[in-house]
Structure 1
């Protein structure tokens, strides 16, 4: 036993013991704190607010679609159908919001219960055996654990900056959708069709309602674009940025193929036609 200790070295054993303590604290202390929903109150509340907005917009678009479909004539049918199709996009956003809500605690559990202890074990092996491979693998695993743990909180803060600008827009879209829905509902019969006499009383008639419907549709599309950016695109961008930062931190160069610009240009629409003419 003493020969093994002398061979490994007292300092290395001390470092391994420290790593063992870190792994123990990571599993029993940091993991519980990171996976506790009470420690992510602001992030979860922000996701709940986003979920509520998505549900309201989904209901408003469905109601507006049904109301516009009741207008006589075929001119309003495309607008009504497009409003109905928006439900699928809202469902995608809603699923992403739910996924982010669950990942807030799951990533903390995975990082501090699995990845950090595994990194400590690999680093201890690398120190004892004096193997650089295990040391670098341990550092990369620990960095990856911190990346997945921080990605959602950072992306939520970045999204909040954009969402502050569009908070009023959500209410405006809701009011416009409710306005046109109520206006049409007040002038429909028991079967849901607009009464011809009532249609003449509505300002600008069917043409005015169609214009309002198109305006509401444009605002719904704008809100979907914003929500897709804040809910889906920003987390991906944050992940790519953090991965790039970790690679730069460890000195790993990112080399692109030599002919990458030409390859990208060759896939653009119209490139083949231009080359053929030349």
Structure 2
């Protein structure tokens, strides 16, 4: 019986070492190779192109609206110019996700999975249950960080499909109002008064167009902030919660939680 147990332990240790070597030598290279993440990288490149187009459109519209006579359109032009900082944040997050696609694969299969194999082998040799449990958690965490970007991209794709028409409409409106103002601006950068008089309600009509455009840009920025910045965090938190649930960690919920919730609603 003792010999049989020893053989089983040696077999498990050998299997763990083989998995470790295979993970480091084969899986880590495959997971960190950009060629194996073409779809994910292409989706991120498409989002990057959209952000750059929106940045250019908002900047051009801001400059055009600022040329309208009077100070009434200045706040709208300034708000459109301020959106550049939000687009920059979104662009930085997209670049970070693009690089993390390969980096997380390397970290998962070259560091975390081999570490889990070593912990499992040591746990088998020393007969320590907590080391084997720690090995399992480390391995699962490696898979979680590896899958976080691809999963978040799939979730965001569903949201972006719904708002794709809004984005296209916003860019078209920005291009139209920019072209309309630029085509009726003289060599000194002043809008031709004859053009303003033709527009319904004059300057106030242009201001209304600018405000509508600003609202559409804000909506697009909000959607892109959610899809690019918040969705990956939400997916990560969900996966970590699932891992905790998988390993049997209880989540205690107060019994009177529905009563408290109803009470707060009535107080409001």
TM-score normalised by length of structure 2: 0.92
- Alignment-derived partner of residue 152 in structure 1: 149
Q: 2:213 aligns with which of 213, 216, 238?
A: 216
**Any idea what the Cα deviations from partners look like across 1:182-202, whole Å, max 9, x if unmatched?**
111111122322122332133
Q: 1:130 aligns with which of 127, 131, 149?
A: 127
Alignment of 1:1-278 (within 5 A): 9-255=6-252
- Between the aligned partners of 1:7 and 1:18, the Cα distance in structure 2 is 16
* Deviation at residue 255 of structure 1 after TM alignment: 3.7
**Partner SS, residue 115 of structure 2:** helix
- Between the aligned partners of 1:256 and 1:106, the Cα distance in structure 2 is 37
**Partner SS, residue 21 of structure 2:** helix
- Between the aligned partners of 1:249 and 1:159, the Cα distance in structure 2 is 25
- Between the aligned partners of 2:18 and 2:84, the Cα distance in structure 1 is 51
Which structure 2 segments of 5+ residues have no match?
none
8 A contact 1:8–1:128 mirrored in 2: no
Which structure 1 segments of 5+ residues have no match?
none
Over 3 Å off, 4+ runs: 5-8, 255-261
**Partner SS, residue 42 of structure 1:** helix
* Deviation at residue 51 of structure 1 after TM alignment: 0.3
- Between the aligned partners of 1:101 and 1:257, the Cα distance in structure 2 is 41
Count of aligned residue pairs for this structure pair: 264
8 A contact 1:83–1:217 mirrored in 2: yes
TM-score normalised by length of structure 1: 0.89
**Any idea what the Cα deviations from partners look like across 1:10-50, whole Å, max 9, x if unmatched?**
11011100110000000011111111111111110000000
**Partner SS, residue 22 of structure 1:** helix
**Partner SS, residue 220 of structure 2:** helix
8 A contact 1:111–1:149 mirrored in 2: yes
